[in-house]
Amino acid sequence: MDNFIYHNYTKIVFGKDQETNVGALTAELGKKVLLHYGGGSIKQSGLYARVVSSLQEAGVAFVELGGALPNPRLSLVRAGIDLCRREGVDAILAVGGGSAIDSAKAIALGVPFEGDIWDLFTKKATSNHVLPVGVVLTIPAAGSESSIVSVVTNEETQTKIGLHHPNFRPQFAILNPELCFTLPPDQIANGVCDMLAHVMERYFTNTPGVDFSDRLCEGAMRSMLALGPKVLENPTDYDTWANLMWAGCVAHGDILGVGRVGDWASHRTGHHFSAYYDLPHGTALSILFPAWIKYVYRENLPLFVQWAQRVFDVDLTTADPDAIVLEGVRRLEAFYKRIGLATRFSEVGIDDTHFEAFATRSIPVGALKALSVEDIVAIYRLAL
């Protein structure tokens, strides 16, 4: 196990009706906030009215910025930065899923920075000052509510980049499972895939001596595999949603990855398809992760055998480890199909036109196996 420092300071406020406390929690962050959200769903559900009422009762002034989209856009981040500067905002409140939270984090980083926010994402500049962020979560998936990551898409260059920043963790995150009851099935499925991928990216490692976190990851994966179909069958089951919502938060809150080096190749090589084709992030992962496993599993064969046996209960009457792993991959793909996700690019109308360009943009990438351009193109072709 590697050395590590673990410090997650996000206050998780979990349970029914907890969004009614958002005003008091936000008042601890600042006197005037940016209320940032996506489309009209929070207004239709009544959540917007409850949040606004709570802010007003707590004496918190606010300005609004809606329009957060999947694969959050740089143009909206820049608009948010300008708005916050004009209005003298000193904190950000994101109400929504990963897209609203990620763009809120980017805005919070950009407001005190004198240059262009994109220079921070491309590592041309650095800045430590980030406005405090609070969250009311409506879509469990990205885990952004307690992570150090923000992912933003530059529409002009069709580039999607994730930035890790130690000050990106929200100060608080309100998680009420009842807010998930009206989510459409495709968002649920993509969310489950994203949180499962967050665990697998950490799990597949070459770091030795990590049995405890192996088993934490395996338990999390098994729970997600069980909870995903259940919540799709009964989307108003509070306890199922409660477990899934908490699982999504834990999956990307870093506790599962301490002491080990994660891979992240499937995420990073998949971002290009989301940026160019506006492909849902979860769908990019359901297509690419099985292909990546097929391509790299011999780099650490015992670990992939362990994954197939402990997570998918593969018990073949064979001593062939390759067969065990590939059966695990088949069961992973069957799970994705069961919840309505694609497992091939051809199923979503994507061909190999941009494979070489996307692969070139991806490197350097991969920890379990450092991937070359040729490796990435081969993985893309396995996913066709």
Strands 149-154 and 159-164 turn out to be antiparallel
How many Cβ atoms sit within 10 Å of the Cβ of residue 75? 13
pLDDT band at 251; cut points 50, 70, 90: very high
Going 282 to 283 to 284 to 288, the CA torsion angle's sign is: positive
Give the amino acid at 40: G
Q: How far apart are CA 355 and CA 375, in angstroms?
A: 11
Mean pLDDT of the chain, nearest integer: 96
Alpha-carbon distance 82 to 73, whole Å?
15
SS3 assignment, position 229: helix
What 8-state DSSP symbol labels residue 350?
-
- The confidence score (pLDDT) of residue 298 equals 97
pLDDT over threshold 80, residue 318: no
What confidence tier does 48 reach under pLDDT thresholds 50, 70, 90? very high
Closest CA to 162 of 2, 357, 362, 374: 362
Strand-pair partners of 374: none
Nearest CA to 208 out of 293, 306, 288 is that of 306
**Amino acid 41: pLDDT:** 86
Full strand arrangement of the beta sheet holding 91-96: 11-14, 172-175, 133-137, 91-96, 32-37, 61-65
- Interior/surface letters 78-113, b for 16+ CB within 10 angstroms, e for the rest: bebbebbeeeebbbbbbbbbbbbbbbbbbbbbbbeb
For residue 15, give Cα distances in angstroms to 152, 191, 367: 29, 20, 37
The owner of tokens 């207004």 is 43
Structure confidence at residue 368 (pLDDT): 97
Indicate if the pLDDT at residue 317 is higher than 80. Answer: no
pLDDT tens, residue by residue, 73-93: 999 999 999 999 999 999 999
Cis peptide before 132 (omega within 30 of 0): no
Q: Detail the DSSP E strand segments found in 158-267.
A: 159-164, 172-175
337 neighbors 343 (Cβ within 8 angstroms) = yes
| CA atoms within 13 A of residue 40's CA, in its CB half-sphere | 1
pTM: 0.94
Q: Are strands 32-37 and 11-14 parallel, antiparallel or unpaired?
A: unpaired
Percent of the chain residues topping a pLDDT of 70: 100
| Cα–Cα distance, 75 to 77 (Å, whole number) | 5
Instruction: Look at residues 266, 250, 361, 342 and name the one whose alpha carbon lies nearest to residue 6.
Output: 250
**pLDDT tens figures, 172-220:** 999 999 999 999 999 999 999 999 999 999 999 999 999 999 999 999 9
